[in-house]
Amino acid sequence: MIADDAVADDVVFLVVAALRGRCMPARSHDLPRMAVLAHVPALVAGGGDGGASENFRHDVTVVVKDSVRQASCAGPVILHIGDYTRTLDPEAYAAAFPDSYFDPGISVAPEEFRHASLDQRVTDSCTSVAYAMLPLDSPRAWQCAGLRANARSTILRLCRTEGASPEQAASHIQQLISGLPATCQ
């Protein structure tokens, strides 16, 4: 996990999702649902063919189960796996998800998430529109992160605007996307 950030991101995601499932059963599907909506590249690390990937998946499953069983439902969780150690705040992780997938130590939710909880965002049909237009599925230049986040916020606002026709909103969204630098689209 120290040598591969993608593996660490996946394991942290699985631990937090499983911990929420144990501690907050009614909210157990929110993280996985948002990961799908946002096209987060979760669970692609360590993939491949053959026995190595089966062993890898088995090892990850064991580590996740052990970590969740030992964790408290309240407060931070110290994730200690081999030489890898990270302190996680599952509530902050969920509040900032999907951004927290890429930065598990994030302590403050991005501005675009501050007015809605994860469970509200995952059930909001406008969330799927925003992430369909600007998914998190592949790495892009770091300069694009802020532009794309602002554009997603604008898409959410346009989608939620009462009185606007779907055609108007779609047109404004398309103009917004076209206005981004090509590398950020």
Single pTM value for the model: 0.86
Please state, as a whole number, how many other Cβ atoms lie within 10 Å of the Cβ of residue 91.
15
CA atoms within 13 A on the CB side of 167: 0
pLDDT band with cut points at 50, 70 and 90 for residue 50: very low
Q: Please state, in angstroms and rounded to a whole number, the distance separating the CA atoms of residues 182 and 179.
A: 8
Instruction: Indicate if the pLDDT at residue 91 is higher than 60.
Output: yes
Instruction: Indicate if the pLDDT at residue 131 is higher than 60.
Output: yes
User: CB-based burial of residue 34 (10 Å sphere; 0-12 exposed, 13-18 middle, 19+ buried)?
Assistant: buried
| Average pLDDT score over residue span 146-165 | 88
Q: How many residues does the chain have?
A: 185
Maximum mean pLDDT: which of 4-18, 105-119, 139-153: 4-18
Q: Please state, in angstroms and rounded to a whole number, the distance separating the CA atoms of residues 63 and 75.
A: 20
Tell me what the pLDDT averaged over the chain comes to.
88
